[in-house]
Amino acid sequence: MLTGKKGIVTGGGRGIGRETALVMARNGADLIVCSRNESELNETAKLSEGGGFAGSIEPFVCDISNEEDVKRIASHAGERFGSVDILVNNAGMFSSGKMESLETEKMRKAIEVNCIGMFVTCREIFPLMKEKGGSIINVSSLSGVRGVEKFPGFGPYIISKFGVIGLTEALAVEWKNYGIRVNAIAPGAVETEMLRAAAPDLEPVLSPKQVADTILFLASPASSGLNGSTIDIFSSLLKEPRE
């Protein structure tokens, strides 16, 4: 499905990012996978060394909230691949706090990582994608979709994930003439370490693999008719209670 495609996956050390990198590599993509945690990245790469992988995973330590780090990964991708076909913007952080007492810095950090870091990554990868076109997939959240009831106290996360939807729609319009499709996914509660730490009482109904399969679809030619779309991902299947 992705044979010969070159891509970058951010936040690929665990959870959704790791599963996305693995499913894309199984389907033939050669990837640079980044996160801040080197040991988690190396584990992701090690998992791809077994049988059944038509593509490859190269770990690259990068903090997307650091503009110089993003420029380094873009430069490395240009040297290694020449051009980039797929960009999955999955890296992000959770932040919470009641709005009436929320520190400004906490709000600023959530927007800096979840929204501005994603914008900078798209901007820096654009020169590597504009000649041949490609697919950008931005990971938002059901928290960032209008009309979905929000959990109280998740304000910084909610606001930053709304920003991801706006970024997706703006880039989809501006870059469509280059053959670049920009779409977003908005998953509900996913079984990840980040969610367990942020909301231990919330029972996830999605696995990282379910989300990764949707990202694979958006990265592939099968989704060629989609641009500027947000796909909401949720499951009506109830899982057994977590012990």
Other beta carbons less than 10 A from residue 121's beta carbon: 27
Of the residues 60, 119, 157, 162, only one is catalytic, namely: 157
Identify the residue whose tokens are 């012990």: 243
86-89/230-233 β-pairing:
unpaired
Report the C-alpha gap between 8 and 83 in whole angstroms: 11
Is 157 labeled as catalytic in the residue annotation?
Answer: yes
Q: Which strands, in side-by-side order, build the sheet including 180-187?
A: 56-61, 30-35, 6-10, 86-89, 134-139, 180-187, 230-233
User: Rounded to 5, what percent of the chain is helix, strand, coil?
Assistant: 45, 20, 35
Q: How far is CA 30 from CA 21, 55, 67, 84, in A?
A: 9, 5, 24, 10
Report the C-alpha gap between 201 and 217 in whole angstroms: 31
By annotation, the residues acting in catalysis are: 157
